[in-house]
Chains A and B, each alone.
Chain A
Amino acid sequence: DSGVTQTPKHLITATGQRVTLRCSPRSGDLSVYWYQQSLDQGLQFLIQYYNGEERAKGNILERFSAQQFPDLHSELNLSSLELGDSALYFCASSVNSASSTDTQYFGPGTRLTVL
C-alpha cells in the first residue's frame, strides 16, 4: 500500500456527463500528480499541483480540470465525457516539487468507463 488513496475505484457513466475523481496524497506529501493510462496512449502525465498551486501541465484536455485543496487532497474533474476518455486515471504524490528527485508514489487508480 503506497499510502495514496483514490476514490471511486470504478466509475461508469455516459457520454456528455461530468465526473469528479478524488485523490488523497501520502501524509506529508505536498505534490499531487494526475496520469491517464489508456490502451492507445499508454501512461501520460496530465497535471501537477504543489501545495495548492498548479505546477505543471501535460497533455490535459480543456474539458478536464483539477485542483488541490488546503488539506492537500486533489480532485480531477472530467466534463463533456467522450468514449475516448475511458481509461485508468492515476494519482501520485511526492514530498516536494520541481527540481526534486523524490519518488512519486501512485494510488490504485480510478477506472473510468464512458458508455
Chain B
Amino acid sequence: AQSVAQPEDQVNVAEGNPLTVKCTYSVSGNPYLFWYVQYPNRGLQFLLKYITGDNLVKGSYGFEAEFNKSQTSFHLKKPSALVSDSALYFCAVRDIGADKLIFGTGTRLQVFP
C-alpha cells in the first residue's frame, strides 16, 4: 500500500534561517508526490508536486522540494523562513490505480521572529 510518513510533529526555526520539513514515502511504482500547506481556519493550499523529471521541484511562496529516490524522501525546503510560513504542512502521495491522495500526519512549522 502507498504511504507517506512525516517523522516530525513540529519543526521550529528562526526567521531568516533555512527550513526543512521531512517526508518519506513507500510506494510500488513511480511516486507522484505533493506538498500542501494549511493555515489556521483555512483549506489546504497546494505548494508543489513531483511527477517526473528534475529532482528539485520549485513551488509557491519560495518553497522547493527535493526528491531522492534512493532515500525514498521528498523533503520540503525553503532557504529563508518567514514568520508567515508558520502553518501545518502535509506531504501526500497519489494512490496507484486510484486518484485519491494519501496524506501524512502533518508537520507543524513554527517560525520565530
Contact = CB atoms under 8 A, between A and B. Distances in A.
A101 B36 contact: no
A56 B103 contact: no
A91 B94 CA distance: 16
A75 to B, nearest CB: 18
Nearest to B50: A101
Chain B CB count within 10 A is highest, among A94, A98, A104, A109, for A104
Nearest to B97: A98
B97 A104 contact: no
A48 B51 CA distance: 21
A56 B106 contact: no
Interface residues of B, number: 21
Interface of B: 32, 34, 36, 42-46, 49, 51, 90, 94, 97-103, 105-106
Interface string A94-115: 1001111101111111000000
B90 A43 contact: yes
Contacts of B32: 101
A42 B99 contact: no
